[in-house]
Amino acid sequence: MIISMHKHLARRQAGVSLIEVLVTLVLISVALLGSASLQVLSKRSNHESMQRTTAAQLAGDYLERARSNKAALDDYTVGEDIGGATLGVPALDCTEDGANCSQSQMATYDVWQWEQHLDGNNELENGDATGGLLQPTACIQGPVGGAGVVEVAIAWRGLREHINPEIDDCGEGSGKYGAEDEFRHVLVMRTFVNND
């Protein structure tokens, strides 16, 4: 009878340990799923942050180019929908040794080169652009014929839906950012440029 009771307790303990193992596996699975979703959220947030930082650097770069060649300021205020190779290659490469570019030619080259950076063509992998912003559009506005405020607005496609920002209409309605522009992110930078 005592032997029979020990066998019965041993079976009961073996069953309990199997249930404990199953509960542990479920808890580990839930923890791993939570960790994986946290990793995905972290990667998205990092990507969004990188895109905003890139847009800020590009806008600042454009304004510095305009400021350094202020005599040709009118040539830097090129309008809307820049990006996606909308600007043709300039006839003269102003970065070559011996290139004798006028201030206007330098401005044309600067704007084209800046669009290349906007499109990510400064980072190539197998001939494809891998840098820059996702589906960028830039809108440049400024004074005509004199000093004034130059505005650089850059729109790009974000990873998450949100309310379309009212800060600027750059890229709005282009179809690049969703049916209602719910993926459109915008950064606007303004500065005063004196052309003296």
Report CA torsion sign: 124, 125, 129, 134: negative
Separation in Å, CA 168 to CA 64, 82, 115, 127, 163? 21, 15, 19, 33, 13
pLDDT reported for residue 15? 57
149: which 2 tokens? 């405020």
pLDDT reported for residue 53? 93
Q: 66 CB contacts (<8 Å, ≥6 apart)?
A: 73, 76, 107, 142, 150, 193
Q: 100 CB contacts (<8 Å, ≥6 apart)?
A: none
Nearest to 109 by CA among 79, 69, 140, 136: 69
What is the full DSSP assignment across 105-126? HHHHHHHHHHHHHHHTTTSEET
43: which 2 tokens? 């990667």
How many whole angstroms separate alpha carbon 190 and alpha carbon 72? 18
Q: 109 CB contacts (<8 Å, ≥6 apart)?
A: 90, 92, 93, 94, 95, 101
pLDDT reported for residue 13? 55
Domain residue limits, the chain = 54-193
pLDDT reported for residue 7? 61
Q: 32 CB contacts (<8 Å, ≥6 apart)?
A: none
pLDDT averaged per 10 residues, the chain (length 196): 58 67 91 90 86 94 91 85 85 84 92 91 76 89 82 92 83 89 92 80
pLDDT reported for residue 195? 67
Residue 136 CB neighbours (<10 A): 25
Q: 174 CB contacts (<8 Å, ≥6 apart)?
A: 81, 137
52: which 2 tokens? 């905003």
pLDDT reported for residue 6? 58
How many whole angstroms separate alpha carbon 113 and alpha carbon 36? 40
